[in-house]
Amino acid sequence: VSPYAKVGGLADVAGSLPTALAKFGHDVRTVMPLYKIVETNPDLKLKTVLSDVKVSINPWWHKRANVKEKQPNGVKTYFIGTDEWFNEVDKSEKIYAPGVDAYLFFAQAVLRMCEELNWIPDLIHCNDWHTGMIPVLLREQANERFSETGILFTIHNLAYQGEFGIDSLDKLGLSRELFDHHRLETYGLVNFLKSGCAYADAVNTVSESYSREIQTPEYGCRLDGMMRHLADNGKLHGIPNGIDQDEWNPATDQRIAANFDADHPQKKAKCREALFKALNWEPIGGAPVAGIVSRLSEQKGMDLILRAAKRIFELPVQIVVQGLGDPWLANEFRKLQKRHPKHFRFAQKFDVQLAQNVYSGCDLFLMPSAFEPCGLGQLIAMRYGTIPVVRATGGLADTVFESGERSAESGQHTTDNRQPTTQGLPSANCQPQTHNGFVFQNRDHNEFADCVKRAANAFANKSEWAKIVDSAMRSDHSWTVSAARYEQLYLKCIMSKRSNEAKAS
Ligand code: GLC
């Protein structure tokens, strides 16, 4: 949960969606593990709310939990800790290091905490596989107090499912009878993400296109059958992420070299200078500079960058990559910088300040992703007048448009013609789809290089470029519309839980 601990986009969503919901008047509380990096951060000054609570992971295995809290702006965040796992996370790179037992504990501890605080929510919103056992426990270890609590499960990335041996059921005190293809099992293992989806009242992904893509074998990561099943039952939805427009605001951002807005974009030039200075790098006259702030992984299309690099440098376009991840990719980027120092810079780090220089100082922002559930980088870049060049997949296809006429529904990018399963919910894309970026279709490095070339040509035409920057900066990606869609989906979950409950009694 940003700003407490962050590795990727999930933290931004977990930090900003609750704030948007609280503005509607809801009592929203967020729960995350008490990582060492959080506990030892002297600026946070966490307040202890529960200590030494007994959490039974199963009838024979207990842990003691303590819960701390922080409430900066209407949303309480609870941090659950114990004497193992999370207290070993002393840097953000280790956030996903705790093994399966940590998440079994966390699932039990969240429910135990609600009881202890005497705060039983109307709805629990679980995110990604780490929380996949919470819905199972809620329904199978039926505690009467949660009988009216609805559950929404959100998939931020279907590629990470959390698969473990059948003993994880024993460890939670759950019956092995649940280990079947309709509930917890896939390919001989307990699949936490699938379990969460099977027991939730509804499931959503973080863009409409991704909710359709994951129903195909190509994007479904072996769960496409289940995704189609959920969709056929009206249980799979797509709600695009928003960004906190106050946090990402070039007019007020203290981390950038000069403030600017859509009415006065000229000062962006100062941010560009600051970027080159920070990198100790020389601009090539007339060439656009393209940025990447990303986890180094194949998902993010880094292989396409490597393969298209030579053609892109010849345009000429300069590229700066900032990020950590796959050591093979990091090594390739180091070699690329050695071969093309004038055209390429690689900053192998997670550096918030430099990231801000990249977002504000670049002309282009590259996201040639293989798949992208939503993607926040393109939304942030647009806010700072940095024009995205993206592959038409998932949330990229829903937010970046190369021509004004294209609509999210009629886009050529979908691999499946199913209608989005959002009946009864307000539509995501109410805003006009103006030319705010550059888009290519296939995972092909020549198509990508051609797309960068179109962007570079447009950059050379000052008045055309100014129009594109203007529409990008004015695109509205605030949470307002999406938070309202979550509110309605929450209600749907609660109603469906209560009507099932009524039928059962
Ligand atoms: C994951 C996805 C990304 C999405 C983010 C927040 O990191 O890969 O596309 O924006 O979650 O939902």
Report CA-CA distances (Å) from 264 to 384, 386, 473. 12, 14, 11
* Residue 407: predicted pLDDT: 41
Left if phi > 0, otherwise alpha if psi is -120 to 50, otherwise beta: which for 336? Answer: alpha
Q: How far, in Å, is the centroid of ligand 1 from the Cα of 201?
A: 22
Is the distance from the beta carbon of residue 157 to the nearest atom of ligand 1 less than 6 Å? yes
* Residue 135: predicted pLDDT: 98
Question: Would strands 438-440 and 289-293 be described as parallel, antiparallel, or unpaired?
Answer: unpaired
* Residue 142: predicted pLDDT: 65
Which atom of ligand 1 lies at the shortest distance from residue 373's CA? 9
Residue whose Cα lies nearest atom 11 of ligand 1: it is 156
Distance (Å, whole) CA 381 – CA 394: 17
Ligand 1 pocket: which of 131, 241, 302, 374 to mutate (most atoms within 8 A of CB) = 374
Closest CA to 140 of 183, 109, 100, 194: 183
Is the distance from the beta carbon of residue 158 to the nearest atom of ligand 1 less than 6 Å? no
Residue whose Cα lies nearest atom 5 of ligand 1: it is 9
For helices 352-361 and 268-279, the axis angle rounded to 10 degrees is 130
Q: How far, in Å, is the centroid of ligand 1 from the Cα of 261?
A: 26
Is the distance from the beta carbon of residue 10 to the nearest atom of ligand 1 less than 6 Å? yes
Neighbours of 430 (CB within 10 A): 9
Is the distance from the beta carbon of residue 242 to the nearest atom of ligand 1 less than 6 Å? no
Cα Rg of the chain, angstroms? 23
* Residue 409: predicted pLDDT: 41
Is the distance from the beta carbon of residue 8 to the nearest atom of ligand 1 less than 6 Å? yes
* Residue 427: predicted pLDDT: 44
Report CA-CA distances (Å) from 327 to 96, 157, 298, 354. 17, 21, 12, 21
The half-sphere exposure of 268 on its side-chain side, counting CA atoms within 13 A, is 27
Report CA-CA distances (Å) from 320 to 92, 146, 213, 284, 362. 23, 50, 30, 13, 9
Sign of CA dihedral 136, 139, 145, 147: positive
Task: Let me know if 208 is exposed, middle or buried by CB neighbors in 10 A (0-12, 13-18, 19+).
Answer: buried
Q: DSSP letter at 264?
A: B
Distance (Å, whole) CA 308 – CA 498: 54
Q: How far, in Å, is the centroid of ligand 1 from the Cα of 214?
A: 14
Angle at 242 between CA 239 and CA 245, to 5 degrees: 165
Q: DSSP letter at 159?
A: T
pLDDT of the chain, 505 residues: tens digit per residue: 999 999 889 999 999 999 999 999 999 999 999 999 999 999 999 999 999 999 999 999 999 999 999 998 789 999 999 999 999 999 988 999 999 999 999 999 999 999 999 999 999 999 999 999 999 999 999 688 999 999 999 999 999 999 999 999 999 999 999 999 999 999 999 999 999 999 999 999 999 999 999 999 999 999 999 999 999 999 999 999 999 999 999 999 999 999 999 999 999 999 999 999 999 999 999 999 999 999 999 999 999 999 999 999 999 999 999 999 999 999 999 999 999 999 999 999 988 899 999 999 999 999 999 999 999 999 999 999 999 999 999 999 999 999 864 444 434 433 333 334 444 444 444 456 799 999 999 999 999 999 999 999 999 999 999 999 999 999 999 999 999 999 999 999 999 989 888 888 7
Is the distance from the beta carbon of residue 377 to the nearest atom of ligand 1 less than 6 Å? no
DSSP 373-417: SS-SHHHHHHHTTPEEEEES-HHHHHH--SSSS--TTT-TT-S--
Report CA-CA distances (Å) from 314 to 236, 287, 309, 338, 425. 45, 10, 9, 16, 47
Instruction: Name, in order, each residue with C-beta under 8 angstroms of 463's C-beta and a sequence gap of 6 or more.
Output: none
- pTM of the predicted model, to two decimals? 0.92
Ligand 1 pocket: which of 206, 367, 371, 399 to mutate (most atoms within 8 A of CB) = 206
Q: How far, in Å, is the centroid of ligand 1 from the Cα of 4?
A: 18
* Residue 31: predicted pLDDT: 98
* Residue 72: predicted pLDDT: 86
Distance (Å, whole) CA 36 – CA 31: 15
Is the distance from the beta carbon of residue 128 to the nearest atom of ligand 1 less than 6 Å? no
Is the distance from the beta carbon of residue 375 to the nearest atom of ligand 1 less than 6 Å? yes
